[in-house]
Amino acid sequence: MSPNQSFLSGLWERLKSWEGFLLVLLLVIIAINSVQAPAYLSIGNQVNLFQLSIEKIIVALVMTFVIVNAEIDLSVASMMGLSACALGWLHEQGMPIQTGLMVGLGIGVLGGAFNGFWIAVVGLPSLVVTLATMIMYRGLARVLLEDRSIGQFAEWFDALGQQPLIGPLPLAMILFFAFVIIAVVILQYSGFGRYVYVIGNNKDVARYSGVKVRRVKMLLFVAAGTVAAIAGLLYGARLGAVRGDLANGFELDIITMVLLGGVSIFGGSGSIYGVLLAIMIVLNLRNGMSLANLTGHIQTGVIGVLLILSVLVPNMVSGVREALNRRRRTSHPQEAVVQES
């Protein structure tokens, strides 16, 4: 086989993968949006596209680790709200913004550790634990601020979320690109990343192999809580005010981005690259629906359907492939024996 044929064969195999499908879908969405609005592809619109959802996609990166590990964290959006509300409450009491930022980050660490204790140490299902803490953290946020909106923060704090820091990029986007590099290196190329995958495939096998399952899971939930707190504080800076319902419902988009990216809800498979493509799809899809003047409720409904399909379609494709392989082995038993040997 010539080098050109080898390259084309490899390219075709990639296009047949889930990531290849996502790439084609992304290009179709971009093409449709470009027809609707010629200015869609402008640098300003692309930066704005990211900036309006930057906090969600930052949290989606750490959620990838959690779901690959065969767990889930439904409390991240509530943690975003709680950390920001703690900052707002302390600001209202006359405390410096720096103190509020440290307390907000501390709440993220402690909240993640609280989740991790019940899941990694006690052994309770993460779905149940984080559903409970999602309600608890949101309730605490509402207790702190009730129905009030607190703003008038220091100018430098608002500028962190609203003004460009390097070129056209604000702080949140710079942190996102930094987190992408860190996430790719850790999950795809480090020993810790391999532990995440091994535990996601079978935690009992991982434990017998010497992997410290509890430690890995605890670290993942602490990281999820910490990153969610950072995202919540950045969101408060971008809005210039905080409320008890800040980031309410964000978990839907976050989990959709991860599952649409090819990360199995059962754990053990998926990559950051697929999640990055899914992030682009969700952002561009929402932007396109906004260009079409669709309401926020309709957009949320579409994202919900996308979440269902992101779980259903890969499982259907996997089932069809297994059925075809069984039929092939039944039709050609001698070839199957040769391949197995």
Residue 325's pLDDT is what?
Answer: 75
Residue 341's pLDDT is what?
Answer: 47
Question: H or E element: which one contains 150?
Answer: strand 150-151
DSSP state, residue 241: E
Residue 7's pLDDT is what?
Answer: 46
Report the C-alpha gap between 232 and 107 in whole angstroms: 11
Residue 14's pLDDT is what?
Answer: 55
Residue 8's pLDDT is what?
Answer: 46
Enumerate residue ranges in the chain where pLDDT < 50.
7-8, 11, 337-338, 340-341
Rounded to 10°, the helix 296-331/272-291 angle is 140
Report the C-alpha gap between 47 and 32 in whole angstroms: 19
Residue 201's pLDDT is what?
Answer: 94
Whole-prediction pTM: 0.86
166 in helix, strand or coil? strand
Where in the chain are the domains? 47-293, 296-341
